[in-house]
Structure 1
Amino acid sequence: MNKILVSACLMGHAVRYDGQSKPLAHPAIARWIEEGRLVTICPEMSAGMPVPRPPAEIEGGATGEDVLDGTARVVEITGGDVTDEFRQAAENALALATGTGCHYALLIDGSPSCGSGFVYDGTFSGRRNAGNGVTAALLKQAGIAVYSDRDIEMLAARLAADEDKTAG
């Protein structure tokens, strides 16, 4: 059975930087829970970051790929450099995904870790840039298909199509 790595905040866990969750209510989620497909992680918490924690963004309008190749940092609004923590978070998520057979990931968009459609530009002004967070970038580099919470229908369709191929 194809498994899906999913952001813990989407599953209702209060793990976001602000101590909140962003539960994703969707029939596919309920079905995947019942089928035992979902593997839940908060990458930042897996790396030992607290809840709540200061907001963080990838500086300079850069992306997770830039953080992974060492040309950008993840910084907190307080100025603290949390690049190492975000890199460790990404490694932890990848290890969990590969260790549990996840070929797909459903991640909360906008996060400097989990964002897959957009990340904030590093100015803490609410401006968005297209791009991946650090975890999403590393998962994609490893061949895991990453979807944002806004793309759950596309993930459901891809999962069904891939399972039809393997069944046929």
Structure 2
Amino acid sequence: MVCKTGTGDKIITTPKILVSACLLGCPVRYDAQSKPVNHPVLQRWHANGWLVPFCPEQAGGLPTPRPAAELQQDGRVMTGEGKDVTAPFLKGAEQALALCQQQKIKYALLKESSPSCGSTNIYDGHFRGKKIAGEGMTSHLLRAHGIRIFSEQQIDELFASLD
């Protein structure tokens, strides 16, 4: 892409960014809701096709809506009813990594606190609304493979890192 800067043309290469689909307004969360981020740069990049919407939980085969799930201290993901949903969470994380590798994606903007996408905090695994330091399965796997993870609270940091 070439941008007119007033002092000559400047070539800008904008990498594709993996984004939690719920942050782009897709109703893919466990409760069939979304958590859209209303940021003009994000909206423009989405319109330009630079964002790759992805929901690891849906990609892993879980339905929407679905029971709420939380990451446990032992690494399993459990619903409040006691069902182990670790396998679909892991499958979704692996599919996110495969997509990033296929499309050479080096940045991800993921939904904080999610058992998949949380990047600095997650719920404590006891279904009482308490958050603890930690990361979700997808964030952990992507970060382990060199992909830089940002939450919706860090969106300005993401944009600054791309300048």
Same structural fold, with TM-score higher than 0.5 when normalized by the shorter chain:
yes
Unaligned stretches of 5+ residues in structure 1: 63-70, 161-168
Tell me if 1:41 matches 2:44. Answer: no
Q: Cα RMSD between the aligned structures? A: 1.0
Identity %, equivalent residues: 50
How far the C-alpha of 1:3 sits from its partner, in A, is: 1.1
The residue type paired with residue 117 of structure 1 is T
Instruction: Classify the secondary structure of the residue corresponding to 2:162.
Output: helix
Tell me if 1:151 matches 2:154. Answer: yes
- Bigger fraction of residues in helix: 1
How far the C-alpha of 1:131 sits from its partner, in A, is: 1.2
How far the C-alpha of 1:119 sits from its partner, in A, is: 0.3
Unaligned stretches of 5+ residues in structure 2: 1-13
Output the CA distance in 1 between the equivalents of 2:65 and 2:71: 18
Q: What residue is the counterpart of 2:68 in the other structure?
A: 55
Map 1:11-160 onto structure 2 (within 5 A).
11-59=24-72, 62=73, 71-160=74-163
TM-score in terms of structure 2 length: 0.89
How far the C-alpha of 1:117 sits from its partner, in A, is: 1.5
1:10 aligns with one of 20, 23, 27: 23
The residue type paired with residue 145 of structure 1 is R
Greater Rg over alpha carbons, structure: 2
Q: Which has the higher contact order (CA 8 A, sep 6+)?
A: 1
* Residue deviations 1:103-129 (CA, integer Å, cap 9, x gap): 100000000000002000000001111
TM-score in terms of structure 1 length: 0.86
